[in-house]
Amino acid sequence: MVYGLHCYIMIAIFMLKQKKARQGITKTIESYNRNRKCNEYPFVTIQLPIYNELEVVHRLLWSAAVIDYPKDRYEVQVLDDSNDKTVDLVNNTITEIRKQDVNIYAVRRPKRIDFKAGALAYGLSQANGDYIAIFDSDFIIPKHFLKRTIALIHGHDKVGCVQARWGHYNQKENWLTRAQSVGIDGHFTAEQGARGYTNLCMNFNGTAGTWSKKAIEDGGGWQGDTLTEDLDLSYRVQMAGYAIQYDFDLECPAEVPNNVTALKSQQKRWAKGSIETAIKILPELFAHKRFSILQKIEAFLHLTHYAVSLFMSILFMLTMPMLLWTPLPEFDLILAIIWSIVIFSAIAPCVMYTLSGCILKKGFFSFSHFPAMLAVGTGLCLNNAKAVIEGIMREKSDFIRTPKSGSSNNERKQGRYKAVNNAGLGYIELLSGLYCLATLVLYFQTEKYLFGFFIAAYAFGLTVFGLLTVRSEMNG
C-alpha cells in the first residue's frame, strides 16, 4: 500500500511541477548556447564502456563521432573490456572515425576489476575533460546531447550530473519490449521527473548522462562493491552537497531486452544492486542533517522499491492457505474499505504509467499495453525476490551485462550473445504459475469472483515467464 501511494504522489508532483521546470530548463539551454563561440565550450570526455558488443558498438561509436559539438572540445574514450571479435571491430571503427578529425581512442585495462565501475574509474584517471558524458553500448547519442547537458552543468558548481530521458528504438519489436517501454516511460516521467523537479534525491541511470568530474571525485569515485554503481555514486554525490539535474525533453534512444532471459538478467542486477546500495547508503543518509524527513522517506522508498517483489511472492504463496484454512468473512463495510485500499494501491502503477504516457503523447499505447506490463511485473516477482534476498544476505555475484541484439522497430535481430539462464528458477516459476491457477479455481469455487483478476495475473505471468525460461534453456 505504501509503495502504491508513493506512485500517486510521484505522478502528482510531476504533473504539478513539470511545465514550469521544463520551460526553465529550455530557457537555460537557449541562453547558454546563444552566440557562444566554439572555444568557449568546456572540454568533455565521452566514456563508452563496452564488453563484447559486436551487435551494437559500431553505431554507438559513430553516434559519438557526429554530435553537434566543436570537435576540438571533446574526446571519446572507448572503455573496451572485450575479449572477442569486438576488439577488432572497435579498432577498425576507431581508425575510420579518426579520418573525420574526431579524437577517439580505446582504453583497455590489464584486468577487468570491478566490472563497469572499474572501467569508468580507470578511464576517469586518463580523462582530459572536466565533464564526463557516459553512454552504454545499446544507446545512440543524440547530436544535440552535449550542448543541452553542458548548458545545465557548466558554470553550475553544485550540479554534479545531468540525466537525460531514455527512449526506445525497438519498442514495437514484440509484446515484451512494448511492456518494458511502458514501465520505463513511467520511471523517466513520473519518478525521475518528480525527483528532478523538486528537492528529492534522484539517481543517474548508468547511461545517457553528463557528470562533473569534480563531483565524481568529491563523492568518492566509482566503486564496485554494489551491482548498481550508478545508484551508489548518485547518492554519495548528493550527500557531498551536489544536485542531479534532469532533462526530460532530452530523449536518448536505447534498446530494451527483447527476450525473457535477457530481461531477467537485467532485472536481477538492478534489484540486487538497489538493495545492496540501500544497505550501504541509508544509514549514512538517515544520519545526514542536510536531508529532511520527507527526503529520507522518499530515498528509502526509492532504494528499496524492488522489495515489493518479495511481498508479491509471499502474497501469492499465502493466498491458497488463506482460502483453505481461514473462514471467508462476510463482505461488510470494513472488508469493503480494506479491499478498496488494496485495489487503489494495486492500480497505482497503471495510473502512473498511463498518465506518464499521456505526457509523452502515447497515453492509449501505455493504457492498452498495461496487461502485458502486468504480466511482466508478476512474471518477474520470483526472479527479483530472489535477487532481493541475495542483496539482503550480502551474497556477492558478478556484474552480468544484458546482451543486446541490435534490433530496432524496423529490423528485428537475434543476437549472438545469450543471457545467463537459470532454468531451475524457470521450473519454479512454471510450478508457481500452476499453483496460482489452482488457487484461482479454488477461489471461484467459493463463488467469489471480483478479485480473481489479481490471482489470474500471477498465474499468467509466472506461467509465461517459466515456460519461456525453460524453453530458452532447452534451445540452448
pLDDT higher than 70, residue 331: no
Least confident of 136-150, 330-344, 402-416: 330-344
pLDDT of residue 348: 81
pLDDT of residue 334: 67
- Name the residue with cell 553550475: 156
Residue with the larger pLDDT of the pair 332 and 208: 208
pLDDT of residue 364: 84
Question: Are the beta carbons of 201 and 220 closer than 8 angstroms?
Answer: no
pLDDT higher than 70, residue 476: no
Of the candidates 51, 97, 49, the residue with the CA atom closest to the CA atom of residue 404: 51
pLDDT of residue 407: 74
pLDDT higher than 80, residue 418: no
Helix (H) or strand (E) holding 271: helix 260-287
Residue with the larger pLDDT of the pair 159 and 3: 159
Distance (Å, whole) CA 441 – CA 445: 6
pLDDT of residue 327: 66
The most distant pair of C-alpha atoms in the chain lies apart, rounded to whole Å, by 77
Query: Is 2-258 CATH 3.40.50.80?
Result: no
Distance (Å, whole) CA 402 – CA 443: 39
Region 344-371: what's the mean pLDDT? Answer: 85
Bridge partners of 254, per DSSP, are 139, 168
pLDDT of residue 412: 75
DSSP 8-state symbol, 187 = I
Neighbour order of strands in the sheet with 74-80:
104-107, 74-80, 44-50, 131-134, 209-212, 159-168, 243-254
- Name the residue with cell 467469489: 448
**Band of the pLDDT at 335, cuts 50, 70, 90?**
low
- Amino acid letter at 256? V
Least confident of 152-156, 167-171, 206-210, 445-449: 445-449
pLDDT higher than 90, residue 397: no
pLDDT of residue 450: 61
Q: What are the tens digits of pLDDT across the range 49-79?
A: 999 999 999 999 999 999 999 999 999 999 9
Q: Are strands 209-212 and 131-134 parallel, antiparallel or unpaired?
A: antiparallel
pLDDT of residue 99: 96
* Mean predicted lDDT score pLDDT of the chain: 91
pLDDT of residue 455: 87
Question: What global pTM score does this model have?
Answer: 0.93
**Band of the pLDDT at 451, cuts 50, 70, 90?**
low
Is residue 386 helix, strand or coil? helix
Region 4-12: what's the mean pLDDT? Answer: 89
Residue with the larger pLDDT of the pair 9 and 363: 9
Q: Can you give the C-alpha Rg of the chain in angstroms?
A: 23
Of the candidates 226, 212, 201, the residue with the CA atom closest to the CA atom of residue 150: 212
Domain ranges of the chain: 2-258, 306-474
pLDDT of residue 354: 86
Q: What are the tens digits of pLDDT across the range 227-258?
A: 999 999 999 999 999 999 999 999 999 999 99
